[in-house]
Amino acid sequence: MARSGISKAEVQAARLALIARGENPSIDAVRIEMGNTGSKTTIHRLMRELDVADGEASSAHIDDELMNLVSRLAGRLREQAQGHIDEAQARLDAEKKVLQDTLQQTQRQLADLIERHALQTTKLGTQTATLLSTQKELQKEQKENTRLVQAARDVESRLREKDEQIRSLEAQHLQSHTQCALLQERLDTAVKESEKIQERLTERDQQNRVLELILIKTEVALENLRTAKATGQSPSEG
């Protein structure tokens, strides 16, 4: 049979036991914890009195805990923000290094092809001049002596060989132009990639500024809490 006349100490003990077990200290739960003793009205009144007493006793303690919580939160925000910034910067630096190496290699290949193209152009000009000189000699020999037909045939054979060489050089010249165009396209692509990296760096700088603004606002809130504590005001009154 349930007894009557419960005390505030019994209600406090039952409520603390429920909280220690991770349960909600409701009126019904407290009454059951005390063995279904006492009326709900009395339990409710005593719990309200305990809440008022606990609130007055722990006001200063709550301010300290809130200050510590804000400080820890600000520290974690700084660590997380710096970690993200460092990781992103490392990735961008690695990508930039790869692109720079690729660009330098492409530039070296382009310079080599340009040099080879210049040498081939010079060689083609020399052979063309030689061919013109041979043609003049042939015309002169034909006019001067028709008896040198066999010699003229030999010269014609040499001309055919020269023509083959010229066609071969022209084909090489065209191939060099094609390679130069492909390398120029790769160079343009590398430059575009470099510009994209620069844009991403700019976006990262903007994100860094946003994170810095969050940190500043957090530090301002922390300073407000300190000021409120120093003046004896609650954070909401500040």
Query: Per-residue pLDDT tens for 22-68?
Result: 999 999 999 999 999 889 999 999 999 998 877 656 555 544 544 45
> What's the CA dihedral at 51, 52, 56, 60 to 10 degrees?
40
Calpha distance 12→28 (Å, rounded): 14
Q: Using the structure block, give the residue that is written with the tokens 């200050």.
A: 67
| Domain topology for 82-231 | Helix Hairpins (1.10.287)
pTM above 0.95, yes or no: no
Q: 23: which residues sit within 8 A by CB, 6+ positions away?
A: 29
Calpha distance 157→35 (Å, rounded): 125
Q: 172: which residues sit within 8 A by CB, 6+ positions away?
A: 120
Find out whether 95 and 194 touch, Cβ atoms under 8 Å.
no
Helix (H, G, I), strand (E, B) or coil at 146: coil
What are φ and ψ of residue 45, in 5° steps? Answer: -65, -45
Structure tokens at 142: 């034909």
Q: What is the DSSP string of 130-194?
A: HHHHHHHHHHHHHHH-TT-HHHHHHHHHHHHHHHHHHHHHHHHHHHHHHHHHHHHHHHHHHHHHH
Structure tokens at 95: 């990508």
Calpha distance 147→164 (Å, rounded): 28
Element spanning 7, H or E: none
Query: Per-residue pLDDT tens for 104-151?
Result: 998 999 898 899 989 888 988 888 888 788 888 878 877 887 887 787
Res. 187 pLDDT band, cuts 50 70 90: confident
Element spanning 5, H or E: none
The 10 Å Cβ neighbour count of residue 93 is 12
**What's residue 69's pLDDT?**
47
